[in-house]
Structure 1
């Protein structure tokens, strides 16, 4: 970086760049609230450990998985009785990942959101915002009795509007295969019930999109 400018964040792309020379410092927003561990007792340096948490996972990225290898810590094969016991634990582990209708709904919605990330070129910041809006909608029981797809599409559109990303209702409808009318109806419900503050659209971003 030139050292003369300041780092600015483009919430649409997730890039962090210098506003003077344009050098991209980072191509994504990272989760900074992770666990820390000190490896050197003579220094205060700390290193991040563990995966970052994310609202865009139904379990917030905190779940653990029992491995498929039927071996102990020394690499030896498990005896038949222990192998059978571990298999039962795997079965219960799988069942408890989505033990309620709420968790199953989040799992379905966020799997779909992950599929739409590349299709709509959504940044990590927009993904997190979408997941936050969807979770709030679920807390207020706005998903009940309505299509998961239309609420998710509306949450994506709301997140894009809030973060001033140039995604139109048509863009979201084409990517999600949900009718614009249904998305628009769900979007109005989210804005009213969740008190979402939608800023005015920046016309310069629309011009840039058309030019590209």
Structure 2
């Protein structure tokens, strides 16, 4: 009996150990992901989540593919291609960045040359000696000469400075300034500048870029900040667009409404009514052969009368820089062209 009990116990232990090993083997097989099974979750260009079959999205830096439903990280790029430092605002990012600003067409050398600062201080912020100040002054002089060695470089530098000055005075944004600089570079490359002043060509290309980008600035407004007469600007403008074959779309009077309305302080309802009046007048050809500034000013005055905005012709005349006679004449034409509205 004792031997039989011992034998039975050994057999039981052997069976139990075998069952445990088999269970562990099954558990390992369940946890193991077969390499070919990953392809089952790729459908075309879309990767599905292997857990919940949900859609996946890429992380902000593009290094991870994450399930949008359960948050599981599907794939991860082990190489961090970003900087080794962290920044929490734009100023901190600019201080830690070790690269310069991108190239720009607003500078004659596109911002690729070295610029020596005007401050006579060392790396620790301490003022340098008189001898080093004289040396820095000579270095700045030679640096400017090297940056503008040729006549075309000097021409371009002066012209881009004029474009930036006039655009700042008119409140024209960066995109339009870049368009103007590109047109000037094309004119310089096509050798269209001989016989014309740099200021005239710079003013003409700024006006052309304003019209191309839909910026509401009349040629008279541009002439107020220029150093050349209006007649010369008009001649140069026609010459540049003809020689470079630039297609300038007609000016839409609606583009002036926002600026004029802000100048006289009218409400949004009046601005919407003015734009609607211009659209109706344009559809019937009232604007043909007439200055868009006068059309916009008259439409704003007409909208003020219809909305009881109490806008005077004098206020709009000063804001739009047109005569009150022009406003009265166009005002009647706009109202007559409007549907169901006649002039009083």
> Where on the TM-score scale, by shorter chain, does this alignment land: which range?
0.5 to 0.7
Aligned partners of 1:134, 1:154: CA distance in 2, in Å?
Answer: 9
Query: Which of 211, 216, 232 does residue 166 from structure 1 map onto?
Result: 216
CA deviation after TM superposition for structure 1 residue 48, in Å: 8.6
SS at match of 1:185: helix
CA 1:163 to 1:70, structure 2 compared with 1: closer, same or farther past 3 Å?
closer
Give the deviation of 1:137 after TM superposition. Answer: 0.6
Please, which of 66, 84, 104 is the counterpart of residue 40 of structure 1? 84
Q: Are residues 1:51 and 2:101 paired?
A: yes
**3-state SS, counterpart of residue 149 of structure 1:** helix
Shift of 1:59: 1.4
What does residue 154 of structure 2 align with? 104
Match of 2:42 in 1: none
Query: Displacement of 1:88 after TM fit?
Result: 6.0
**Cα deviation, residue 98, structure 1:** 1.0
Aligned in 2, Cα 1:48/1:168: closer, same or farther, shift over 3 Å?
A: farther
Structure 2 residue runs of 5 or longer lacking an equivalent are 1-80, 86-96, 263-344
Deviation string, structure 1 residues 149-201 (Cα, Å, up to 9, x no partner)? 11011000100111111100100111113222111111111111111111122
Calculate the TM-score normalised by the size of structure 1: 0.68
Q: 1:96 to 1:199 in 2, by over 3 A?
A: same
Instruction: Give me the whole-angstrom Cα distance separating, in 2, the residues matched to 1:70 and 1:166.
Output: 45
Which of the two has greater helix per residue? 2
TM-score (norm 2): 0.43
Q: Give the 3 Å change call, closer, same or farther, for CA 40–107 of structure 1 in structure 2.
A: same
Please report the RMSD computed on the Cα atoms of aligned residues, expressed in angstroms: 3.0
Deviations 1:55-112 (A, max 9, x none): 1111111111245658589x9x89x8x9998776554322111111111111111122
Aligned length: 169
Structure possessing the higher radius of gyration over alpha carbons:
2
- Within 5 A, what are the aligned runs for 1:127-206? 127-206=177-256
- CA distance in structure 2 between the partners assigned to 1:119 and 1:85 by the alignment: 36
**Matches of 1:72 and 1:118, distance apart in 2:** 33
- Match of 1:144, SS state, is coil
Structure 1 stretches lacking a partner, 5+ long: 1-36, 42-46
| Offset from partner CA, 1:114-153 (integer Å, 9 cap, x none) | 2212211110001100101111111111112211111011
